[in-house]
Structure 1
Amino acid sequence: MADTPPLKIVSGNALSDVQKKDLLHRLARIEGQLRGVQKLIAKAEHPDDCDGIAQQMSAARKALDRSFVTLLTNSLVTHAEKAGTVEESIESSKRVAALLEKFV
């Protein structure tokens, strides 16, 4: 399988370039973990193999959960920093709170 070229980071107001790079790096590591899990599943021969597979799947899931929290934290910080007024900051916080309620 050929490696995909790195994604072009577009500057904007959602996240800083550094935050985007960090999240993309985290996701690339998780992608690698998942590829490893796929290989483990393909090569599983004995019932004991499932323990190692489950452990790796759990690690990937936890890493994805941490990435999700990082995304929300970065979003909250970025929007609070860019808010021109207290009202804008409150609205930004409400959007992040709504995301938490929706996805957690």
Structure 2
Amino acid sequence: MADSPLHIVDGSALSGAQKKDLLNRLARIEGQLRGVQKLIALAAVPGDCDGVAQQMAAARKALDRSFVQLLTSSMLNQSNNAATLEDAQASAARLAAMLDKFA
């Protein structure tokens, strides 16, 4: 991401600020994963695996939190942008299906 900044597209799924926040979170996770790679490369004794496991767990948790943020942001935007109750219900059903499928 640091090599070429992403162009944030306007849309109704997420606001520009929400997209920027999620992208920043993912960039931090990417940095964490690079750090894990270095820890693995430098691991010399069995005890080094504890640090690797701890950092992997932290990265996994950060990614899980980003997923929850994506869903909550989508719920807020799609319900606020719904023109009718039926549209809001359809959006909620789509998001519930995504939660069921990926969580």
- TM (norm. structure 1) is 0.96
Output the CA distance in 1 between the equivalents of 2:3 and 2:97: 33
- 5+ long unaligned stretches in structure 1: none
Provide the residue aligned with 1:38 in structure 2.
Answer: 37
Provide the residue aligned with 2:77 in structure 1.
Answer: 78
Sequence identity (%): 65
- TM (norm. structure 2) is 0.97
Question: How do residues 24-103 of structure 1 correspond to structure 2 at under 5 angstroms?
Answer: 24-103=23-102
Q: CA RMSD in A?
A: 0.6
Write the letter of the residue equivalent to 1:57.
M
Q: CA deviation at 1:6?
A: 1.4
Output the CA distance in 2 between the equivalents of 1:76 and 1:84: 14
Output the CA distance in 1 between the equivalents of 2:64 and 2:5: 23
Write the letter of the residue equivalent to 2:70.
L
Query: 4+ residue runs of structure 1 moved beyond 6 angstroms?
Result: none
Q: CA deviation at 1:4?
A: 1.2
Q: CA deviation at 1:43?
A: 0.4
